[in-house]
Amino acid sequence: MQKIALIVAGGTGSRMNSTIPKQFLLLKGIPILMHTLKQFSHFDKIVLVLPKSQFNYWGELISKYGFNINHNLVAGGKTRFHSVKNGLAKIEKFNTVIAIHDGVRPLISTTLINNLVAETKTGMGVIPIIPVKNSIRKIERGNSVHIDRSNLYKVQTPQSYLSADIKNAYTQEFSELFTDDASVFEANGGKIKTILGDEKNLKITTQEDIKFAEVLI
């Protein structure tokens, strides 16, 4: 069965206090997004979703850094949901596994990617999760309440689905309740299987994250 990576990178530099979108900031001398795409170079196809306004800049970076991993470029939408939907529309094959991944998670391991793909089957999406280690409190109407963390987990990407299933899920109307692909999939009747993720598979959103990733890489 073929494997297709759908990489979504629609970020800006707001949390970084940077005019350069975070996916293009350098990690060990190479744009973050290039590190991410390299981790899926063993897939049959890579679809990269970027804001249309960033196409030219991405092309300049490809030339500057001699980046030669083949990928198809697709224009994003106004939300992540719409960006994923646009990417899925460019994937015509139905007998394939699609791994949907955040462009700013460059330290994803090949082992975790392959484990997710191996567990994917009809009607079942597979996502990586890691246990919440910090104490959690919920503040509501001015009251602070302790939350039991023993059954709480943080969700990572990639999230893996059979193409027919996830394409069908994204025919739904957008909802503010859709926080990731798993929530879209479940709302359409799909089931989610979880496997243990990787603490190193961090999502880079701040300058501190970049420094930490440089140590891990």
DSSP H/E element including 212: helix 207-216
- Kindly report whether the peptide bond that precedes residue 21 is cis, defined as omega within 30 degrees of 0: no
Enclosing domain of residue 13: 2-216
Q: What confidence score (pLDDT) does residue 12 get?
A: 60
Q: What confidence score (pLDDT) does residue 104 get?
A: 97
Q: What confidence score (pLDDT) does residue 17 get?
A: 60
Q: Pick from 92, 95, 58: which is nearest to 73 by CA? A: 58
Q: What confidence score (pLDDT) does residue 62 get?
A: 98
Q: What confidence score (pLDDT) does residue 94 get?
A: 78
189-to-125, 132, 166, 168, 195 alpha-carbon distances in Å: 11, 27, 11, 10, 20
- For the chain (217 residues), the mean pLDDT of every run of 10, in chain order, is 95 64 95 98 97 97 98 96 97 90 98 98 97 93 90 97 97 96 98 97 93 91
CATH number at residue 96: 3.90.550.10
Instruction: State the pTM of this model.
Output: 0.94
Beta pairing, strands 45-50 & 153-155: unpaired
Cα–Cα dist 34/210, whole Å = 14
Overall domain count for the chain: 1
